Amino acid sequence: MRDPVIVESRAHTFYIKKAGIPKGCQQCLKGSKAVLFLNGICQNPKHCWWYCPISEKRKGKRDTYINEIQISSKEQILHELKAINAKGMSITGGDPLYEPNLKKTLDNIKFIKENKGKKFHIHLYTNSLNFSEEIAVKLARAGLDEIRFNPSKENWNVIKYALKKGMSVGAEVPVIPEVEYIENLKKLIFYLNKIGADFINLNEFEYSLPNSQNLKDRNFKLEAGTIASVKNSKECAIKLIKEIAPKISIKIHFCTIIAKDYWQLRERYLRRAKTIKLPYEQITKEGLLLYALIEGEKNSLKEFYNLLLSELEIPQNFLSYEEINIKLPIKFALEEFFMDLIVQHNLQGYIIEMTPFREEKYQQITEKTPIKLFKEEIGLNDY
pLDDT band at 3 (very low <50, low <70, confident <90, very high): confident
Q: What is the pLDDT of residue 14?
A: 97
Over range 175-186, report the average pLDDT: 98
DSSP string, 244-279: HGGG--SEEEEE-HHIIIIIHHHHHHHHHHHHH--T
All structural domains of the chain with their residue ranges: 6-273, 277-377
Distance CA 14, CA 237 (A): 9
- The whole-model pTM stands at 0.91
pLDDT band at 383 (very low <50, low <70, confident <90, very high): very low
Q: What is the pLDDT of residues 293-302, one digit of tens each?
A: 999 999 999 9
- In percent, the amount of the chain with pLDDT more than 90 equals 91
Distance CA 5, CA 245 (A): 9
Q: What is the pLDDT of residues 229-282, one digit of tens each?
A: 999 999 999 999 999 999 999 999 999 999 998 999 999 999 999 999 999 999
Q: What is the pLDDT of residues 58-77, one digit of tens each?
A: 999 999 999 989 999 999 99
Rg (CA), the chain: 25
Q: How many CB atoms lie within 10 A of CB 225?
A: 6
Question: What is the second-level CATH architecture of the domain 6-273?
Answer: Alpha-Beta Barrel (3.20)
Q: What is the pLDDT of residue 149?
A: 98
Q: What is the pLDDT of residues 78-91, one digit of tens each?
A: 999 999 999 999 99
Distance CA 345, CA 224 (A): 50
Q: Which of 338, 351, 347 is nearest to 308 (CA)?
A: 338
Q: Which of 68, 12, 57 is nearest to 268 (CA)?
A: 68
On the question of pLDDT at 382 being above 60, the answer is no
Over range 354-377, report the average pLDDT: 93
- In percent, the amount of the chain with pLDDT more than 70 equals 98
Q: How many CB atoms lie within 10 A of CB 196?
A: 12
Q: What is the pLDDT of residue 344?
A: 93
Mean pLDDT score of the chain: 95
pLDDT band at 18 (very low <50, low <70, confident <90, very high): confident
Amino acid (1-letter code) at residue 260: K
On the question of pLDDT at 1 being above 80, the answer is no
Q: Which residues neighbour 130 within 8 Å (Cβ) at sequence distance 6 or greater?
A: 43, 97, 98, 99
